[in-house]
Amino acid sequence: MSATYHILTQKDLHPAGQQEHDFSTDVLIGLSQMPKQLSSKYFYDERGSQLFQEIMELPEYYLTSCEFEIISEQKEKISQDMAGEPFNLIEFGTGDGRKTKILLKNFLKKGFEFYYIPIDISEAAMKTLIKSMNKEFPELKTEGIVAEYFNGLKWLKNTAFRKNLVLFLGSNLGNFDKAHSRAFLHNLWNILNNGDSVVIGFDLKKDIDLMLKAYNDSQGVTAEFNLNLLRRINRELGGNFDLEKFRFYAGYDVFTGAIESYLVSLEQQEVFIEKIGQSFVFNSWEPIHTEYSYKYLESDIEELAGRTGFFIKKQLYDSKSYFVDSVWIVNKQDRHV
Ligand code: AVJ
């Protein structure tokens, strides 16, 4: 059995022909808003996925090494409850799967019977992932899905009849604001069965300079990662953004608890986007909001779990307590929300 993947299209999800926003529509809406914004979900084209890979290797980007340590050293605490019946291992935002492979190896060693279902928005990342899974774990039953998180949820509705373990690692949830993370998790809860588990990676609130450095890295990789979004608009939508005329800025909002990323226009300028058939005017120092990276207190995590129908079973910390992988159980006995 070899691993495969498929790309979810509008037709798979909306046979009736309902339309969801595509890239150009989202860019039109985002750049017409005040303040202007573009979604970080569009970061991950081929070059973007490659740049994120580089970010994960930066010394300043502590998130990856902390979670890698947690998974390597505490994997038994995750596999403990999975013995017995066959299950789905569903993963949102797999990326290169480096951390997941530690778990997969452990599960296979224990002879667990499971299907691995990685869901990722980047086709480029999924292609590479499937290839390397086939090579490293030829016996693994894998079915990859290229879709954004909410669309992935819709797909799972027909798959989740087995027992499920859901991975949402890397602080990927941090891209969602409070309303969206609640909506996502409660939707997930709805699809899952009582007693299913979810492992969510949260980056904890900590020393502000440490958090800021993870996004304002000394090599400027994160800046490139953000600017690549303008490059993608140029390539895919026929835009004429001059990347030299924008700078990256990331700051921490202590009150909302998010690192907020921006691309700031360095001068008054007009940018034409062919596929939209329209120009957009930027004032000097006008920002485009590009990304939220939320950070959490333990109490934020408790509140989020409680409100969305889960109870927290275990909190797995790294040795510096910078990061936590939180193991949640679906609770359908009590009433929720
Ligand atoms: C993949 C969403 C967890 O927000 O920290 C890294 C993406 N952005 N550097 C994050 C990212 C800038 C990352 N997540």
**Interval 132-183: pLDDT, tens:** 999 999 999 999 999 999 888 888 887 778 899 999 999 999 999 999 999 9
Rounded Cα–Cα distance for residues 70 and 201 (Å): 10
CA of 293 to the centre of ligand 1 (A): 6
Longest Cα–Cα distance of the chain, Å, equals 63
Instruction: Please give the average per-residue pLDDT across 111-136, as a whole number.
Output: 93
Nearest atom (ligand 1) to Cα of 214: 9
**pLDDT (tens digit, 9 = 90+) per residue, 218-253?**
999 999 999 999 999 999 999 999 999 999 999 999
Ligand 1 geometric centre to CA of 200 (Å): 15
Task: Indicate which residue's Cα is closest to atom 1 of ligand 1.
Answer: 172
Amino acid 155: pLDDT: 83
pLDDT value of position 16: 54
The phi-psi region of residue 271 (left if phi > 0; otherwise alpha if psi is between -120 and 50; otherwise beta) is beta
Q: Stretch 22-34: mean pLDDT, rounded?
A: 97
Q: Best substitution site from 58, 168, 171, 177 to test ligand 1's pocket, by max atoms within 8 Å of Cβ?
A: 171
CA 12 / ligand 1 centre spacing (Å): 29
Higher confidence at residue 19 or residue 171?
Answer: 171
| Beta-bridge partners for 92 | 119
Q: Is 171 in the pocket of ligand 1 (CB under 6 A)?
A: yes
Cα 295 to ligand 1 centre (Å): 11
55 ligand 1 Cβ < 6 A: yes
Digit-coded pLDDT (tens) for 295-326: 999 999 999 999 999 999 999 999 999 999 99
Per-residue pLDDT, averaged over 272-280, amounts to 98
Which tokens sit at 4? 């495969």
Our answer on whether the CB atom of 92 is closer than 6 Å to any ligand 1 atom is: no
Q: Kindly state if the Cβ of 174 falls inside 6 Å of ligand 1.
A: yes
Length of the chain: 337
Instruction: Give the phi and the psi of residue 234 in degrees, each rounded to 5.
Output: -60, -45
Going from the C-alpha of 324 to that of each of 69, 98, 99, 304, the distances in angstroms are: 11, 17, 14, 14
Q: So what's the pLDDT on residue 17? A: 47
Angle between helices 46-56 and 123-136 (to 10 degrees): 60
> From the alpha carbon of 293, which atom of ligand 1 is closest?
4
CA–CA separation, 107 and 156 (whole Å):
22
Residue 30, pLDDT above cutoff 70: yes
Of the candidates 100, 52, 303, the residue with the CA atom closest to the CA atom of residue 199 = 100
- What integer pLDDT is reported at residue 9 of this predicted model? 61
